[in-house]
A and B are shown apart, each in its own frame.
Chain A
């Protein structure tokens, strides 16, 4: 089986690569590429994302055929895809970081800035927070409710269909931190930086 991490030149993905390679232990091939032909034929896709919503969407679009290829992979072929951080945020219809930017539109909703309640809460939301698992998601197999995950973000995904939410976390309010819709998975937190529990989630995705 091949798991492909999409390298679309947006931010630092070495931690994602390292964590997947650690978990895969040579039993699963971890490929890192932006080559559309390779992504087309792979079994699973990981879509990381760092920086702003706009910069990530722009970077995806700058690679010829990549957005169409991902659409086909996730929406038509319905193969498993995991979005991490801004990778998850891009599932939305629209994001408002920097300027209004159209997302991939896979899960209806928008990405807006976290309300810091007039400075009462610091942003970015950085550090370890507990997740409330609200749906029996396949990537949460053997993950305890209230597990700690590592977060770094100032924007949040607000899905319009609450059924896609698989976990939330409490900060300035209740924030969506994980989604699952059929074959599409996403985490706002960074499983690659969330110690053994995070690696377990990666393992669950690899073994789907």
Chain B
């Protein structure tokens, strides 16, 4: 049986982890390789890097991070943040990323998704959707949640599937950082509409939220950041809890 995945996400800025594990005796808390290795050794099913480097001149730092990490980390590595073009995707894949997540660029020009999935295969193209509730519907936001595109998130999700996305990484802007749980309605609506796997993100504060994301949100995978970084729970504990609730996990 296919297992539900737990994916810790690390924020990387200028080649250093700025939001990551904050509790163990790290030799170097800013080292992405060391952090990724701790998670993969601890049973994480995949690792996600979100590059939040703001300035253009430091954009290349992520390539070095990916290259180093992929030499030491033998579970799938997804990299997102600032991916603009097929060329950017190509560079990340060549450095050792297994999947690349595309956000703003996919909203602005879905051809990036069409072209990259044709060129590299759908298996490595993740479309990240940042969605926020507006009345009865959810709208897609771009530029790290700053701009409202006004696009309906459900229709957009379907369009991305048709364009060749292999997975959708759906983040609720309303819930992100709140620790009150995923936006279950958003997750289940999108998951029911598409036939590709959905990764739920935004709002996890405890292990029951992970369970809800999978059971009610119909997510194939759950992404979380702070509950793991600050030592509230380990990936292993999360898996044991999911298993106790009847959710199949890799142990």
Contacts and interface: CB of A to CB of B under 8 A. Distances in A.
A14 B94 contact: yes
Given A11-B121, A122-B220, A128-B5, A195 B70 contact: no
A198 interface: yes
B94 A129 contact: no
Q: Name the prevailing secondary structure of the A interface residues.
A: mixed
Nearest to A192: B74
Contact of B93 (A12, A124, A194): A12
B76 interface: yes
Contacts of B197: 122, 124, 126-127
Contacts of A128: 2-3, 5, 45, 250
A142 B221 CA distance: 29
Interface in A1-21: 11-12, 14-15, 18-19, 21
A129 B119 CA distance: 27
Given A125-B2, A148-B3, A50 B120 contact: yes
Interface residues of A, number: 37
Nearest to A49: B121
B182 to A, nearest CB: 18
A127 B196 contact: no
Interface string A10-54: 011011001101100000000000000000000000000011100
Contact of B195 (A22, A123, A196): A123
B27 interface: no
A15 B5 contact: no
Interface in A104-162: 116, 119, 122-130, 148, 150-154
B181 interface: no
B62 to A, nearest CB: 15
B34 interface: no
B86 interface: no
B29 to A, nearest CB: 24
A51 B120 contact: yes
A72 interface: no
B220 A194 contact: no
Nearest to B45: A128
B20 interface: no
Given A12-B98, A150-B76, A193-B75, A123 B196 contact: yes
Given A124-B196, A198-B74, A193 B2 contact: no
A195 B2 contact: no
Given A127-B221, A194-B74, A195-B74, A15 B96 contact: yes
B166 interface: yes
A18 B67 CA distance: 10
A198 B98 CA distance: 15
Contacts of A129: 1-3
Nearest to B100: A12
Contact of A193 (B4, B74, B120, B195): B74
Given A12-B98, A128-B3, A199-B74, 14 more contacts: A12-B120, A14-B70, A15-B98, A18-B70, A19-B74, A122-B196, A123-B195, A124-B122, A127-B197, A152-B123, A154-B122, A194-B74, A195-B40, A198-B74
25 contacts: A12-B93, A12-B124, A14-B94, A15-B70, A18-B70, A18-B74, A22-B72, A50-B124, A122-B195, A122-B220, A124-B166, A126-B167, A127-B2, A127-B3, A127-B5, A127-B221, A129-B3, A148-B250, A150-B75, A151-B2, A154-B122, A193-B98, A194-B74, A194-B75, A195-B74
